[in-house]
């Protein structure tokens, strides 16, 4: 997103406890362990192995073609963060490593133009400065909803420490989701924390909670949206009525968790996953049998952004509204390029027993 907006604006156990029993049947019967018997790392919960319906549900009137057809997947158990990674957690990473995020780095035009259409003119140097995208809170009218540049602004000096620009701060906001995090930044944090990004299938499994076939993290009733998620109320993007109590981003755990204790799987900030964003991926799948532990498309494909590698982000954000993207649904997805960040995009991490060296 970062590159494309610079251009257009010049503009997301089962510890298989085989007890070494002599009786193989007995061993297999104990393979699935209850969540209560699995000790999760601090700040994480265990997601049991299950088979569920991934993608758009038949009754979902907001579903987009890239979310279809729905198909059964089986996902092994894993741990996932209870909340998005917070400012406090990301600061601990930066303090320990000295890491500098994409939004804080000098922009290299020679690298940038590789992901833009051939012969794209170089923007003025005043634009090619470290920064990120922020939502334009002063939009009064929109001519064409397809032109999202009307409500996005490239802000020099915007980054995770200064989410609304150089004059803003995260002081007193330790428990807010960290934002302006690009895919590469998320990977760096994961490496330091011995975690990884979830696959889209893992993310949907976690979002479903105890369910296997629902549109939203709480069920199928859209009337419960405002009490369960931080999204846009009013007329997007000009009138924000804040019926849910927050005009824009909110602290983590401000809304009820889903059925297994995960917060903000819907709304607040988009969450980066490891899968490539490919709008044709579902249409090319063999859906005759459940797909086990899918890791997404083999390559990215987005005809609207053909020169960039994009990954899937999930969950929607505080800007999602039914009149525009309706991305507060479990199956919803959008693409984000490797070096893009904004004030409504963050991430959460996962871990497996093998990553944590837990004995089986």
Q: What is the pLDDT of residues 10-19, one digit of tens each?
A: 333 222 322 2
Q: What is the pLDDT of residue 281?
A: 98
Q: pLDDT digit string (tens) for 261-280?
A: 999 999 999 999 999 999 99
Q: For 12-21, 69-78, 121-130, which range has the lowest pLDDT when averaged over its residues?
A: 12-21
Q: What is the pLDDT of residue 78?
A: 97
pLDDT tops 50 at residue 28: no
Q: pLDDT digit string (tens) for 313-342?
A: 999 999 998 888 899 999 999 999 998 899
Taking Cα atoms as reference points, which of 237, 266, 239, 263 lies closest to residue 251?
Answer: 263
Which residue's structure tokens are 């200064």? 162
CA distance 54 to 161: 36
User: What contacts 226, CB < 8 A, 6 or more positions away?
Assistant: 233, 243, 244
Q: pLDDT digit string (tens) for 152-182?
A: 788 999 999 999 999 999 999 999 999 999 9
CA distance 249 to 43: 21
Phi then psi dihedrals of residue 246, to 5 deg: -130, 130
pLDDT tops 60 at residue 31: no
Taking Cα atoms as reference points, which of 326, 274, 332, 324 lies closest to residue 65?
Answer: 332
Q: What is the pLDDT of residue 243?
A: 77
């Amino acid at each position: 997103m970062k590159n494309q907006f610079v251009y257009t604006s010049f503009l997301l156990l089962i510890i298989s406890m085989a007890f070494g029993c002599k009786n193989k049947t007995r061993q297999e019967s104990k393979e699935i362990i209850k969540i209560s018997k699995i000790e999760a790392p601090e700040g994480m919960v265990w997601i049991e192995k299950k088979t569920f319906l991934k993608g758009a549900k038949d009754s979902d009137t907001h579903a987009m073609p890239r979310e279809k057809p729905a198909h059964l997947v089986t996902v092994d158990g894993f741990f996932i963060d209870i909340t998005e990674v917070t400012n406090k957690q990301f600061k601990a990473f930066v303090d320990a490593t000295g890491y500098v995020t994409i939004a804080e780095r000098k922009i290299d035009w020679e690298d940038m133009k590789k992901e833009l259409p051939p012969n794209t003119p170089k923007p003025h140097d005043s634009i090619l400065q470290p920064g990120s995208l922020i939502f334009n809170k002063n939009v009064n009218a929109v001519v064409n909803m397809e032109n999202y540049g009307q409500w996005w602004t490239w802000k020099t000096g915007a980054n995770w420490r200064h989410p609304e620009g150089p004059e803003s701060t995260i002081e007193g906001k330790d428990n807010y989701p960290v934002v302006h995090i690009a895919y590469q930044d998320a990977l760096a944090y994961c490496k330091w924390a011995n975690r990884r990004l979830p696959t889209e299938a893992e993310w949907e499994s976690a979002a479903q909670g105890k369910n296997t076939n629902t549109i939203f993290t709480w069920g199928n009733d859209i009337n419960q949206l405002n009490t369960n998620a931080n999204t846009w109320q009013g007329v997007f993007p000009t009138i924000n009525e804040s019926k849910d109590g927050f005009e824009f981003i909110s602290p983590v755990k401000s809304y009820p968790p889903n059925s297994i204790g995960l917060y903000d799987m819907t709304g607040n900030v988009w969450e980066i996953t490891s899968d490539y964003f490919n709008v044709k991926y579902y249409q090319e799948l063999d859906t005759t049998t459940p797909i086990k532990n899918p890791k997404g498309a083999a390559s990215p494909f987005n005809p609207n952004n053909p020169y960039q590698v994009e990954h899937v982000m999930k969950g929607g954000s505080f800007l999602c509204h039914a009149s525009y993207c309706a991305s507060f649904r479990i199956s919803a997805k959008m693409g984000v390029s490797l070096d893009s960040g904004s004030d409504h995009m963050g991430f959460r991490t996962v871990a497996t027993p093998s990553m944590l060296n837990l004995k089986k």
